[in-house]
Amino acid sequence: MSFSHAHLLGIEPLAPSEITTVLDLADQYVDLNRRPEKHAEALQGLTQINMFFEASTRTQASFEIAGQRLGADVMNMAMQASSLKKGETLIDTAMTLNAMHPDLLVVRHPHSGAVDLLAQKVNCAVLNAGDGRHEHPTQALLDALTIRRAKGRLHRLNIAICGDIAHSRVARSNILLLGKMENRVRLIGPPTLMPAGIRDFGVEVFDDMAEGLRGADVVMMLRLQRERMDGGFIPSEREYYFRYGLDAEKLAFAAPEAIVMHPGPMNRGVEIDGELADDINRSVIQEQVEMGVAVRMAAMDLLARNLRAPAEGVMV
Ligand code: NCD
């Protein structure tokens, strides 16, 4: 097993074999999580602190459950109540926590690059739980595991990522991961929601769902990230749903066995039809949540192994 990193800050530095290592270990944790007795000891004695500077439901809950199942002492910093309110900087807060000797720090922050910066200042393993519109590596890994289990492979698939690409760290991490594993990635969305220079990432770009979805094996929908928009990116939600909202009719353009994904939280009736999202024959949205816990267990387990006995050539 090889995973030669001290932190998990993004998909960018990971080799394809390291992605496979995380997913293989996560498969074992899926089995453990389906048993009534779910405890393992990979993080026994270690302290995990979750610092979420942005709202989160599933990611935070999932990291918390993952740590507890592996025996860590898990603490959620109540960021709303912390000294940040009193003007303390991110780095001061991190240094204060660092002095309490945590082993794993899970961080979500609204600014791209903030988590990387923090990782340079502390001496524990840092996991990026989403930084601005930059990366969200555990989301891409859980999406990859979901795809691999549903399709039986993670290469040479046609994968369509649809919607608000410009503001999405989920899209960015997925584009990197799916590209490294040699899939064909197509992005579909209005030109106003497509980041400049995105074609350099080796993707195809469409602004029409019928064209972009043709023959897709996987259809990944994204939320309109209104909190990151400062004005008129779309004419109206109604119009957006009409052109880009996924319903059974548009899904018919994809391959017959295509699966439907969404990282959550979903806006039913904006980017996806509620009935389709709940259709267990097409939608794997609940599986994504299940895989999230297993992938986070695997990622923290691998980082903890490097903490306890640094592997040859661990990159800090
Ligand atoms: C995503 C995020 O926070 O980037 N959600 C998640 O982690 N499940 C996507 C989103 O907020 O739309």
Query: What is the residue-level pLDDT of the chain in tens, covering all 316 positions?
Result: 689 999 999 999 999 999 999 999 999 999 999 999 999 999 999 999 999 999 898 999 999 999 999 999 999 987 766 666 666 788 888 888 899 999 999 999 999 999 999 999 999 999 999 999 999 999 999 999 999 999 999 999 999 999 999 999 999 999 999 999 999 999 999 999 999 999 999 999 999 999 999 999 999 999 998 887 877 777 788 999 999 999 999 999 999 999 999 999 999 999 999 999 999 999 999 999 999 999 999 999 999 999 998 766 677 6
The number of the ligand 1 atom at minimal distance from the alpha carbon of 263 is 8
Gap from CA of 75 to ligand 1 centroid (Å): 21
Counting from 1 in the atom list of ligand 1, the atom nearest the Cα of 59 is 7
186: Cα within 13 Å, side-chain hemisphere: 22
Probe residue for ligand 1, chosen from 57, 59, 271, 295 as the CB with the greatest number of ligand atoms within 8 Å: 59
Give the residue among 130, 195, 196, 198 at the shortest CA–CA distance from 164.
195
Distance 61 CA to ligand 1 centre (A): 13
Give the H/E segment covering residue 66. helix 58-69
Give the nearest ligand 1 atom to 292 CA. 8
| Three-state DSSP class for residue 257 | coil
Contact 136, 128 (CB under 8 A): yes
Residues 6+ apart with CB under 8 A from 213: 160, 162, 188, 219, 250, 251, 253, 254
Residue 222 CA, closest ligand 1 atom number: 12
Q: Can you say whether the dihedral through the CA atoms of 37, 40, 41, 43 is positive or negative?
A: negative
CB 135 within 8 A of CB 9: yes
Q: Which atom of ligand 1 is nearest to the CA of 139?
A: 7
pLDDT at 81: 64
Instruction: Name residues whose C-beta falls within 8 Å of residue 89's C-beta, 6 or more positions apart in sequence.
Output: none
Residue 195 C-alpha to ligand 1 middle, in angstroms?
Answer: 18
Residue closest to 223 by CA, chosen among 190, 264, 186: 264
Question: Any residues with Cβ below 6 Å from ligand 1, and which?
Answer: 58-59, 130, 136, 139, 169-170, 223, 225, 263-264
Instruction: Please give the backbone phi and psi of residue 161, each rounded to the nearest 5 degrees, phi first.
Output: -110, 125
Gyration radius from the chain CA atoms: 19
pLDDT value of position 229:
81
User: How many whole angstroms separate alpha carbon 198 and alpha carbon 123?
Assistant: 34
C-alpha–C-alpha distance, residues 218 and 149, integer Å: 12
Beta-bridge partners for 74: 48
Partners of 272 in beta bridges: 246, 268
Q: Report DSSP letters for 6-40, one per residue.
A: S-B--STT--HHHHHHHHHHHHHHHHHHTSS----
By most ligand atoms within 8 Å of CB, the mutation choice from 63, 106, 139 for ligand 1 is 139
Angle between helices 137-151 and 16-33 (to 10 degrees): 70
Partnered with residue 8 across adjacent β-strands are 127
Substitution site in 136, 164, 291 for ligand 1 pocket (most atoms within 8 Å of beta carbon): 136
Give helix then strand counts, H and E, for the chain.
Answer: 11, 9
Kindly give the distance from the C-alpha atom of residue 274 to the centroid of ligand 1, in angstroms, as a whole number. Answer: 18
| Strand 73-77 relative to strand 47-52, pairing | parallel
Q: What is the pTM of this model?
A: 0.96
Owner of token pair 């695997």: 298
Q: Could you tell me the CA-to-CA distances from 71 to 47, 66, 67, 106, 301 in Å, in that order?
A: 9, 9, 6, 16, 11
